Chains A and B, each alone.
Chain A
Amino acid sequence: MREVTYLEAIREALWEEMEKDDSVFILGEDVGAYGGAFKVTDGLLKRFGEWRCLDTPLAEMAIVGAAIGASLMGMRPVAEIQFSDFMISAFDQICNMAAMYHYRLGEPVPIVIRAPFGGGFRGGPFHSQCAEAWYCHMPGLKVVAPATPYDAKGLLKASIRDPNPVIYFEHKHLYRRIKAQIPDDDFMVPLGQAEVKREGTDITIVTYSAMLHHSLAAAEEIAKEGVSAEVVDLRTLSPLDKATVLGSVRKTGKALVVYEAHKTFGVGAEVSALIAEEAFTALDGPVARVASLDTPVPFSPPLEEAYLPNRDKILKALRDLAAF
């Protein structure tokens, strides 16, 4: 075991998969000579050369289109979109091409699109969005959003080896803030499996990515008041691990969904609907949500703080649910 940051865990996954499989290569803006906007790909160019660590023009549609074409020729490309906000420019290639190829033609498209996302670092409206729900809505795509170094590494390795297009949302705010011990040996985290990160008996918190850490902090705080909160980390958003979510809610009888994206039409809406449809009789209270406001991500620090979910907002929702 050794301690790594969330960012280092992602780099290790790329490095190890490129060592293991010659068909794996990375492409994106500044991933080579500069080592990536956040330095995730630092060192890969020197080790693997410019044909497996491709600097591309600023053209997201071309990056994803080239990745799709390479995958159809037997390669396993990992495309980096510098900020997930810019992935919108490649929406047609992702949704109309990558997501549908297997259904239309029977051809697998084993690509990974790494997309740094999320706010909390004063990045403003073009560099902080959480647009994961758009891609979860698309059959044919898999969508993951790890919260810990172990999951970041294990899920990226599983994503690279998966035969489907996978959108890998990595949270910028976690890159260097979150450290943890991970095993030295090769391991993977299977796609489609949530994990109970904290066991509890009174309320289930369903969350993912950076909000896991705020949720765990809120759960620890409310435990001092005699309320036991279970925290489910979805890890993979699509396909959703319904069994783990429903199993926890059936045990606790109450559910709070916490996510960083805009509240309306987000992943939390889908999770809430799932609970209402399949665990209604187990509920002892309304399914509640804590999410960001339905505005663009503000640049101003006090406005961004007001916009984002945090420990205290989650704690208030937990107290309201506990008292229901």
Chain B
Amino acid sequence: MTDVGYVIAGWGIAAVVLAGYSVRLVLRIRQAERDDAPRNVKP
């Protein structure tokens, strides 16, 4: 592999990990807020 290949691999992996974690976190929060919403109403 050339130097450019290592740079692409390194920056690519970092981008995928950070973006993947951030997006998954946001989706989990939205899901949890949706699940939580009906229960916040007192019967």
Partners in one complex: no
Residues of A participating in the B interface, judged by any CB pair closer than 8 Å = none
Interface, chain B (partner A; CB < 8 A)? none
